[in-house]
Every structure is written in structure tokens, then in C-alpha cells.
Chain A
Amino acid sequence: DVKVTQSSRYLVKRTGEKVFLECVQDMDHENMFWYRQDPGLGLRLIYFSYDVKMKEKGDIPEGYSVSREKKERFSLILESASTNQTSMYLCASSLVGSTQYFGPGTRLTVL
């Protein structure tokens, strides 16, 4: 079974803090994705990566950066957290042109 894990289920941070969200997959997938999910807005793509050290902006990259130093790990970084980044963050991975598998999500609250 494919397993995608995320470092925290719940996280509370203060405005201005640097925040790291980690995602690890164990199926040697090339593609990895970060989404945020907000009520009424559905899932929106922040960034994705199709290979180690490769990244592409999604629909809402502003205020975020990513890092993929190893194939199995994709990190989302909030350089200076703001209250409008309070959200559910979901990581996914897939082979090229195939099924996406999601992690359990991280519910981030920025105070």
C-alpha cells in the first residue's frame, strides 16, 4: 500500500514565524504536490515537484516555498506565517500520469 505521511496533524504558530511542513512518501513516486483546502474554495495547488530539486508553481504560490532534496520528501515552507495562511494543508504523490495518493493533512492555525 502507498503511504504518504505528514509531519503533524495539527500545528499552531504565531504570525511571523517560519513554518516547515514535511511530507514523505514510500513508493518512489516522481511527482509530489502541496495543496491547501479552505471552506468554499476547495483544494488549490500551491506547488508541485516532478523530480528531485525540480519544482513548479501552482495556482497560489505566494507566501510559500518548497524544497525537494530527496525523492521521497517534499517540504512546504512558510517563510513568515500570516493569519491568512491558516488552513488545511494536504500533500500528495503520484507516478507520472497516474493516481494521486494523499497524506492525512496538517491543520495549521496561525495566531
Chain B
Amino acid sequence: GIQVEQSPPDLILQEGANSTLRCNFSDSVNNLQWFHQNPWGQLINLFYIPSGTKQNGRLSATTVATERYSLLYISSSQTTDSGVYFCAVSGTYKYIFGTGTRLKVLA
């Protein structure tokens, strides 16, 4: 099955810093999503991005499907950005999740 690897596993930033999170996947996919899991466990959809580039405020994402990776950019990080960021991919119905990047933003 498809393998999903996320890096780095852990990241600590000072408020205001920028960061890039990476998601590599082992096979071609039709669907790719980025999620943020907040401290209460809620998974919040950030981007649905099987290819191309999208931006939403301080966050943006790029997926290069032919090279099997996706990047999530966080600019001017805030303490509320803390949590775990997951990438999930699928060929059809079944999504495979990476193990996440745990981000801590310090005030």
C-alpha cells in the first residue's frame, strides 16, 4: 500500500518564525489533504490539494504530484498554530495518514 512519511517529526519555533513541513508519498494519489489537530483532538481541514498550490492567510501548500511530495508553509507563526499537522493521501476511498509533525510555537 501507499506509504506516507512526514518530516520533521517535531518542530519548535519562536512566535513570528516561518516553517516548512514536508509530506512524501510512495505512489501516485488522487487525493491529498493537510490537517491540523488542535490540543483538544479536533482535526481541522487546512487544504485539499492533490496538485498545485493554494494559500489561506498565513498558510500555503504545494503538491508536486509527479515527484510525490507536498509542502505546507506556515509564515509568521503564532502560539495557536501549535499542535500536530497531518498529511493524508488516497488513491480512491481509503486515506492513509502520515504520523504527523508536532509543532510547538513559543511566545
Contact = CB atoms under 8 A, between A and B. Distances in A.
A75 interface: no
Interface of A: 31, 33, 35, 37, 40-45, 48, 50, 56, 58, 88, 90, 92, 97-102, 104-105, 107
Interface string B34-53: 01000011111100100000
Nearest to B94: A45
29 contacts: A35-B97, A37-B41, A40-B99, A41-B99, A42-B86, A42-B100, A43-B86, A43-B88, A43-B97, A45-B94, A48-B93, A48-B94, A56-B93, A58-B94, A90-B43, A92-B43, A97-B31, A98-B48, A99-B33, A99-B45, A100-B45, A100-B88, A102-B42, A102-B43, A104-B41, A105-B41, A105-B42, A105-B43, A107-B41
A7 B40 CA distance: 16
Contact of A100 (B30, B95, B100): B95
Interface string B89-102: 00001111111100
Closest 7 pairs (CB-CB, A-B): A102-B43, A99-B48, A43-B97, A42-B99, A105-B41, A42-B97, A104-B42
Contacts of B40: 104
Contacts of A44: 97
A50 B94 CA distance: 10
Contacts of B93: 31, 48, 50, 56
A92 B94 CA distance: 12
Greatest chain A CB density within 10 A among B41, B44, B88 is at B41
Contact of B33 (A50, A90, A100): A100
A97 B99 contact: no
Greatest chain A CB density within 10 A among B40, B43, B98 is at B43
Interface string B64-107: 00000000000000000000001010000111111110000000
Contacts of A43: 86, 88, 97
